[in-house]
Structure 1
Amino acid sequence: MTERAPVKKRLVTVPALGVLFALAAVGCSADDSSAKLDGWAKSVCDAAKDPVAQSRTALADTADVKDGEAPVDLQKRLSADLASLATTNQQLADAVQKAGVPKIDNGAKVQQDAVNELKQVAQGYLDAQKKLDGLASADQAKFADGLRSVGDQVQQLSQVSTSALAALQSGGLGEAMKKQPGCKAGTAGTGAASASPSAGATDGAGATGGAGAGSPGASADPAASGSPSGAATDPGSPSPGKS
C-alpha cells in the first residue's frame, strides 16, 4: 500500500505594510513571490526612468522665469512642457501595462487602475495644452487669467497622477520598487517639489514656480505635476515606495 503524500498546507494571507499577499506553499515560496515582485518592479522602473527624468525637466521649465520673455514665447514654451508631460504619463502607463499583472492580492485591478488613471492624466495634459494654445497672449490680463485656469487643471491632473501610482507604493510591491535604481531617481512620494507655470505672468512673461505636489514613490510620478498655475508639483519617480 503506497503511502499518501502529505497534504501541503496553504499559508494564511498575511498583511504586509497594508497590502495582503497570498503566499502559498504549493509551488510558490515566499522567496519565489519576492523574486517575482522584484522582477515586476525592475520592468516598471527600468522603463520609467527616462520618462520620469523628462517629466522633471518639463516641470522645472514651467517654473523658469526668463527675463524679457514675450507672452507668445512663454505660451509656446509652456505648451511644449505640457506636451512632454502628456507623453511621459502615457509612457508610464505603458510601462505598468507591459510589466504584466503583479503577484499581489487584486494585482490585476491594481495594475489596470494605475494604467487607466495615467492614461487619463496624459489626455488631460493634452487638453490643458490645447486650452493654453488657445489663449490670446495680446491681452496680458486675460492671458494671466487663462494661465491660472490652466494651472488649476494641471494641479488636478497632478493629484490624479499621484493617486494612480500610490497603490503601487504599498506593501511588498512598494518595497520591491524602492530597491530599483530606476525608481530611486526621484524623491517624490507624495509631495515632491514642483513647478508650475506662472499663472500670474502679468507682464506676459515669466512663470512662477511653486511648491508642489507629489509623486509616487521614492519615486516619482511625472504625472503628478507641473502646472501652469503658479503652484506646481513635481513628479517624482515612479518608484512606488514612498520615501
Structure 2
Amino acid sequence: MSRKFLVVSALVLASALTACGGGDDDKNDEKKKTQAELRAWAAKVCAVDVTARIDEARVALADVGTVIPNEQPATLRTRLAADISRLADADNALADAIDRAGIPAVADGATLRTSVVAELRNAAKGWAGIQAKVESLATDKQNVFADGLRSLNPEIDGLRASAHTALDKLHRGEPGKALAAVPGCAAGKPDALPTAPVTSAPTSAAPGGTPSAGASGAAPSASKSPSASSSASTTPSGPPPSGGTSSSSAPPTGTAATG
C-alpha cells in the first residue's frame, strides 16, 4: 500500500470524524436552545400574579369546606358563591397566562396551548354558571336549599375532571418538566388548581328552623405552594358533627387524581 494512499485515507477519516463531532455539537446546541425557550415559557406561565390567584383559590376551597354552626342559609349561599367565583378566577388567570406565554417549544406546542387554554376557559365559565345557580337558590326552606346544593354535584364533578385533564396535558413531557423546575410554580402539577368544591348543606335543622351547620366539603389531595399550604392543609375531609347531628349529604363519587 502506497504512502500516498495512507495519507489520503487519514485525511478522509479525519474529515469524517470532524463532521460527526460537528453534528453532535449542533444537536446539543439545539437542545440547549429548546430548553432555554421552555424555561422562559414556564416562567411566564408561572408569573407571580397567577400563582397568587391559585393560592387564593386554595383558600376559597378551604372555606367551602368550613362548617359554621348555626350559619343561616342566606349567609351560606353568599359565602359559597364568593368562593366559587374565586375558583373561576383562578382558571381564567391560568388560561390567560398560558395564552400570553406563547407556544411552548415542543412538536405539538401549538395544539397543547390551544387545547389547555380552551379547557380552562370552559371550566371557568362552568364555575360562573354554578355560582349563578347557587345565588338563585331559595333559602326560606332549608331542606329545599340543601337539595338544590346537592343537585349541583354532577356539574361540579364534570368541571373537576375537565380542569384536571387540562392541567395533566400541561404537565406532561418537556413542558411539564420546565414548569416543575420553576420554584413555587403552582401550575406545574395537574392537581395544583383546586377544582373540587362540594356544595352541600345538612337537611336537619335546630329548633326554630335554624341550620345546625353550614356547608361541607372535601379538597383533593394536592401538593401545596408555599403561600397556600397553611390554609389548604386545614381543609376538612368531611363535616364534623354539630349539635349531635351530621350532614346527610355526601361528596361526589369522583376524585381528583394527584400528580
Match of 1:83 among 82, 85, 88: 85
Q: Pick which of 35-44 and 47-56 moved more.
A: 47-56
- Change beyond 3 A, Cα 1:192–1:33: closer
Match of 1:66 among 62, 65, 68: 68
Q: Say which SS state the counterpart of residue 231 (structure 1) adopts.
A: coil
What letter matches 2:148 in structure 1? G
What letter matches 2:185 in structure 1? C
In 1, the alpha carbon distance for the partners of 2:87 and 2:195 equals 13
Structure-to-structure mapping, 1:1-243, within 5 angstroms: 25=26, 29-46=30-47, 47-183=49-185, 189-190=190-191, 196-202=197-203, 203=205, 204=211, 205-212=213-220, 231=251, 243=259
Q: Kindly indicate whether the alpha-carbon contact (under 8 Å) linking 1:48 and 1:183 is maintained by their aligned counterparts in 2.
A: no
Larger radius of gyration: 2
Offset, 1:25: 3.9
Offset, 1:199: 1.4
Aligned length: 213
In 1, the alpha carbon distance for the partners of 2:76 and 2:131 equals 13
Greater helix proportion: 2
- Change beyond 3 A, Cα 1:116–1:212: same
- Change beyond 3 A, Cα 1:123–1:210: same
* Structure 1 gap segments, 5+ residues each: 1-5, 12-23, 221-228, 237-241
In 1, the alpha carbon distance for the partners of 2:22 and 2:51 equals 41
What letter matches 1:113 in structure 2? S
Q: Say which SS state the counterpart of residue 29 (structure 1) adopts.
A: helix
TM-score scaled by length of structure 1 = 0.74
Q: Say which SS state the counterpart of residue 182 (structure 1) adopts.
A: coil
Q: Per-residue displacement from partner, 1:151-192 (whole Å, max 9, x unpaired)?
A: 331222111111111111111111111111231599x64498
- Change beyond 3 A, Cα 1:189–1:119: closer
In 1, the alpha carbon distance for the partners of 2:96 and 2:193 equals 23
Q: Say which SS state the counterpart of residue 46 (structure 2) adopts.
A: helix
TM-score scaled by length of structure 2 = 0.70
Identity over aligned pairs, percent: 33
Q: Say which SS state the counterpart of residue 151 (structure 2) adopts.
A: helix
In 2, the alpha carbon distance for the partners of 1:234 and 1:115 equals 23
In 2, the alpha carbon distance for the partners of 1:125 and 1:194 equals 9
Q: Per-residue displacement from partner, 1:34-64 (whole Å, max 9, x unpaired)?
A: 1111111111012421121011011111001
* Structure 2 gap segments, 5+ residues each: 1-18, 206-210, 229-248
Q: Kindly indicate whether the alpha-carbon contact (under 8 Å) linking 2:46 and 2:187 is maintained by their aligned counterparts in 1.
A: no
- Change beyond 3 A, Cα 1:212–1:235: closer
Q: Kindly indicate whether the alpha-carbon contact (under 8 Å) linking 2:201 and 2:216 is maintained by their aligned counterparts in 1.
A: yes
RMSD over aligned Cα, in angstroms?
3.7
